[in-house]
Amino acid sequence: MPSGKKTSMFASAFCTCVSSFVVICVVLATPHWVSSEVRFSRTGSNVTVSLKYGLFRGTCEQFVDAGLQVSQITFQVADALSRTSSRSLNVATIVVLVLALLSSLLSSGFTCTNAVSNPYQTFLGPIGVYTWNSVCGILILIAMILFPVNVEGNSLSKELAHRCSTSLQDHIGSKHSYGYSYWIMLLVVFLNFASLTIIYFYDHARYSKKKEQERPIENAPKDVILF
């Protein structure tokens, strides 16, 4: 059985890993990644398309000239994408987040295993926790880069705006605001860092204790030698 200190520290790391897993699930499930206002001109009027979308679904509304609003439309992002580049980056972002989800799940399993037992395999110990938490954090950062690249570089909002109306003509401009579904990915990175920090302190304390026990006998106190 593991010591009480090891159990408590790995249990704390387990909580952070599970929290990371839950947050990634929220990120994938919610459509509040970005809000965009895309302005177009057409014969006799200007149109502003307001979009809110995530990786899988979104909503859009049209506002014509003095605020005349067309009914809200819900759409599937994959169905609305026609260009290969924007579709590929959207799929790549989803795949990266799914891999991050699996990494977080593995990290949760490793921390739980160490909290209740002392595994013989080295990789199942702190090294495994370091590995999977680091992988998860790196994948989250990659996802945070890929999505803005798709929005800004591939004019994703402009492409999706055509889902609301087929009569849009000249593109005038776009404004983007990233929502909580995007920014809470920073919380995942923080949770992974917290888990790594907890395990580092445990590993450092264990190493220091081991070195203390390996001191030569001449460095021991005299009363210990006499005993």
Q: How many Å is the Cα radius of gyration of the chain?
A: 26
> 107-129 burial by CB neighbour count: b if 16+ within 10 A, else e?
bbbbbbbbbeeeeeeeebbbebb
- The pLDDT tens digits of the residues spanning 123-173 come to 777 888 889 999 999 999 999 999 999 999 888 988 888 877 766 678 888
Domain ranges of the chain: 4-204
Domain 4-204 has CATH 3.40.50.620: no
Q: What is the pTM of this model?
A: 0.84
List the chain residues with pLDDT less than 50. Answer: 217-218, 224-227
At 209 the pLDDT is 61
